Amino acid sequence: MDFLIFQVPMLTVQATLDGVLLGILFALIAYGMALQWGVMNIINIAQGDLVILGGYIAYFMYLYGIHPAWGVVVSPIIMYFVGVIIYKLVINKVVDRDLFISILATFGISILFMQLMNFAFGADVVLANSGYGTTMLFDNSVTLPNSKIFSAFISIVFAIGLVIYMKKSKLGRAIRATAQNARAAKILGVDTEKVYAATFGINAALCGVAGALISITFTIHPYMGLPYTIRSFMIVIVAGLGNLPGVAMSGMGLGMFEEFADYILGTEFRIGSVFLLLVLILVYRRFKLSKKREYLK
Amino acid sequence: MNKNNLILYIFILSFGIAAPFIFPAFKVQLSILCILIILALTWNVQGGEMGYNTFGNILFYGLGMYLCASVQVGMFFPLAEWTEGGGEKTFVHTPTQFFQGMAVGLAVAAVVPAIVAGLIGYSILGLRGHYFAICTLGLGVAAGEISGGIEIIGAGQGFTTPPFPNIGSLEARGEFFYFCSFIVLVLTFIAIKAIYSTRFKLVLNAIRDNEDKAEAMGIQTMKYKIIGWMISAFFCGLAGGIMGGLVGYIDSTDVAFDGREMGVFMVLMAILGGKGTLWGPVIGATVFHIFKEGFWTFFLGWQYVALGVLIIVIVIYFPEGIMGWLREKYPERFGEVVDEADRKAQVELK
């Protein structure tokens, strides 16, 4: 293995910038996962598949001649309703049950979505070309597609918007109350069923935004969902539930890790290294906690 | 063991031996059924009895598959040249070489995954609940992705296992693999039935019901968890090794570390049959396999859609499984003492 990254130092800058911009996108997906995990205590394995579905919405707009950037507006609206429908059909039956039941049920949704997308959109790797061009930095040695900057910017806008919405609006307050204590919220007149549906819808809408951005910046494929789920799970367990700056930071960290792994280990080990990192982080935290005679639960 | 049970076991055993001759066209399907039952039985040791819902047993299955094939080839021919492409055409195993290689390969395929389970067990089994589930899911997928990048075992283009040598009849291949998997199934069943009749099972159940209390009672829970996982890994590896030979071709993510199919199937079969019972996984796997093979043909192309729906329906509406349903219906058969008056009162309440 010839470590290209050590021969061309500028690649370090390239990998760092790529990683940070990619990480912001991951953080947006992880934010959605943290939200519905915190409120409903459900780990959604289908998270990544919702992202990919959102991406296909933007891709179809591109196919029909609409600029894919509009997907950022359309995709979350459609995905919100998809999320609510999934909640009504499946999730509301597993909310109060054993966590493993919800993992398996969402695993089922994930397989279902994967295959339905495969039928509907074909098994090709596609991308929606935004035509934004690229920016050259440092004497043309670092290339930065403008679409990546655009997607990072939009992600930050949506994340900040959602934070403000959760703080100020009535629904946001109801969601936060339900997350703290669902029973007490119910007693005080919050319709928790509606709150859960809205939470899952908002999560799906965030996935829709992220998916639209991914289809502009990178590529999408029906079977690419699971790595996004694992990434967002990883970001959430590193940052902790309800720690937004932590989610942003660990998202960027993960993005950089991936870019460097890509250069050092080779692209074929990229996804493998993400999954391995998840195992290592969990094992690290397990040993750290076991010193205090506690465990991850 | 009472007389009825003995008759039942003898009947099943003789049916198992006679099956490939009664249904000669279904030999491959029957072998796969045996493998599926082994996987469901071993998953049940973790998921059902111990309460550790693992998606990672596929790791041992895939490991066994690669190890068995690699040993079988590597004992006689250079492995790198074999996987480079078309090795099975240049190098031909004589029958003796094939069976010798298979025997040694299966031994390695059983022992090494068990050792791996023992080595990683201390780290991984310290996690609990959904963290354990997600961690093992990551482990399985990581193994698939990484083995897909290793050149010597064929990387992305796959690994053709040694073809069955030409000995006499055409039926020999199917019969050989059927009896391999059937013998391993019988061994697995005996081993698991044996450990379920000892204190070991009680410890596993104590871990499932309340691990902290079990620890407080002086049980070294970690030791039992690791031993349980090693037993599962041992038989998963054997099943993988046989499956590799049966399929004839190993691909890292579609055959060996196939979390999307086998990895979910083993969980689903155990839940369908009723987890936490000895016979549940056996019944679940049989029903699942018949359903799968029957309906896969109708749903051709739609099988994963059907699978997704099936998972959701089973998990939501049928989490106790067939054995759980039977137990509710006929509690006396399961050794539960039922008060007639109490039952009548319950029926009236309904």
pLDDT of B168 > 70? The answer is: no
- Write the CB contacts of A278 (distance below 8 Å, at least 6 apart in sequence): A230, A233, A234, B134, B135, B138, B142
Interface with chain A: mutation pick from B130, B307, B313, highest number of A CBs within 10 Å? B130
B234: closest CA of chain A, how far (Å): 22
Name the closest residue on chain A to residue B121, using Cα atoms.
Answer: A283
Rounded to a whole number of angstroms, the distance from the CA of A168 to the nearest CA of chain B is 33
* Cβ burial, residue A108 (10 Å; 0-12/13-18/19+): buried
Q: Is A291 in the B-facing interface, judged by CB distances under 8 Å? A: no
| Whole-number pLDDT of residue A287 | 85
* pLDDT score of A17: 82
- Which of A94, A115, A232 should be substituted to probe chain B, the one whose Cβ sees the most B Cβ atoms within 10 Å? A115
The CA distance from A286 to B8, in Å, is: 46
- Which of A116, A266, A295 is facing B126, going by the closest CB pair? A295
B145/A287 CB distance under 8 A: no
B176 pLDDT band (50/70/90 cuts)?
Answer: confident
Look at B142 and A279 and tell me if their CB atoms are within 8 Å: yes
- DSSP secondary structure of chain A: ---HHHH-THHHHHHHHHHHHHHHHHHHHHHHHHHHHHHH----TTHHHHHHHHHHHHHHHHHTTS-GGGHHHHHHHHHHHHHHHHIIIIIHHHTTS-HHHHHHHHHHHHHHHHHHHHHHH-S--B-------EEEETTTTEEEEHHHHHHHHHHHHHHHHHHHHHHHSHHHHHHHHHHH-HHHHHHTT--HHHHHHHHHHHHHHHHHHHHHHHHHHS-B-GGGHHHHHHHHHHHHHHH-TT-HHHHHHHHHHHHHHHHHHHHHH-GGGHHHHHHHHHHHHHHHHHHHHHTTT----
Mean pLDDT score of chain B, rounded to an integer?
A: 83
Residue B126, SS3 per DSSP = coil
Q: How confident is the model at residue B113 (pLDDT cuts 50, 70, 90)?
A: very high
Mutate to test the interface with B, among A104, A262, A268, A273 (most CBs of B within 10 A): A104
Binary contact (A103, B53; C-beta < 8 A) = yes
Instruction: Please answer yes or no on whether A268 and B267 come within 8 Å at the CB atom.
Output: no
The distance of A104 to chain B (nearest Cα, Å) reads 7
ipTM over 0.95: no
Instruction: Kindly determine whether residue B126 and residue A287, on different chains, have CB atoms separated by under 8 Å.
Output: yes
The mean pLDDT of B293-306, rounded to a whole number, is 76
Interface test with chain A among B44, B145, B211, by most A beta carbons within 10 Å = B145
| Closest CA of chain B from A115, distance in Å | 6
Greatest mean pLDDT range, A4-8, B265-269, B301-305: B265-269
- Tell me the residue type at B227: I
- Asked whether the beta carbons of residue B308 and residue A230 sit closer than 8 angstroms, the reply is no
- Greatest alpha-carbon pair distance for chain B in Å reads 76
Judged by CB atoms closer than 8 Å, whether chains meet at B123 and A286 is answered as yes
For residues B302 and B286, give the distance between their C-alpha atoms in angstroms, rounded to a whole number: 21
Domain boundaries, chain A: 12-253
B79 has pLDDT over 80: no
User: What pLDDT sits at residue A284?
Assistant: 87
- When scoring B315, B317, B318, B320 by the number of chain A Cβ atoms within 10 A, the one with the most, hence best to mutate, is B315
> Minimal Cα–Cα distance from B98 to chain A, Å?
33
Please tell me if residue B311 touches chain A, with a CB cutoff of 8 Å: yes
Tell me what pLDDT residue B112 has.
93
Q: Are A268 and B129 an interchain contact pair (Cβ–Cβ within 8 Å)? A: no
Contact flag A108-B310 (C-beta cutoff 8 Å): yes
What pLDDT band is residue B234 in, cutting at 50, 70 and 90?
Answer: very high
Which residues in chain B touch residue A115, judged by CB atoms under 8 angstroms apart?
302, 304-305, 308
B130 in contact with A at a CB cutoff of 8 Å?
yes
> Does pLDDT of B147 surpass 90?
no
Please answer yes or no on whether B308 and A108 come within 8 Å at the CB atom.
Answer: yes
Range scoring the smallest mean pLDDT among A173-187, A202-216, B86-100, B114-128? B86-100
Amino acid (one-letter) located at A121 = F
Which helix (H) or strand (E) segment holds residue B37: the answer is helix B27-44
Candidate from A109, A266, A275 with C-beta closest to B138: A275
Sign of CA dihedral B283, B284, B285, B288: positive
Region B309-329: mean pLDDT is 83
Is the Cβ pair A276, B319 closer than 8 Å? no
CA distance A139 to chain B (A): 35
Restricting to A residues 266-285, those with a Cβ less than 8 Å away from any Cβ of B are 266, 268-269, 271-273, 275-276, 278-279, 282-283
* Among A residues 72-111, those touching chain B with beta carbons less than 8 Å apart: 90, 93-94, 97, 99-101, 103-105, 107-111
Task: Show Cβ contacts of residue B194 under 8 Å, excluding neighbours closer than 6 positions.
Answer: none
pLDDT (tens, 9 = 90+) of chain A, 297 residues, equals: 456 666 667 777 778 888 888 888 888 899 888 888 888 888 888 888 999 998 888 888 888 877 777 878 888 899 899 999 999 888 888 887 777 888 888 888 888 888 888 888 877 777 777 776 677 766 666 777 778 888 888 888 888 898 898 888 888 888 888 888 888 888 888 888 888 899 999 999 999 999 888 888 888 888 888 888 888 888 888 887 777 788 888 888 888 888 888 877 777 778 888 888 888 888 888 888 888 877 766
d(CA A170, nearest CA chain B) in Å: 32
- Contacts with B90 (C-beta within 8 Å, 6 or more apart), sequence order: B81
Task: Point out the residue among A111, A266, A275 whose CB comes nearest to the CB of B260.
Answer: A111
* More reliable by pLDDT, B159 or B333: B159
How far is A15 from A33, CA to CA, in rounded Å?
Answer: 26
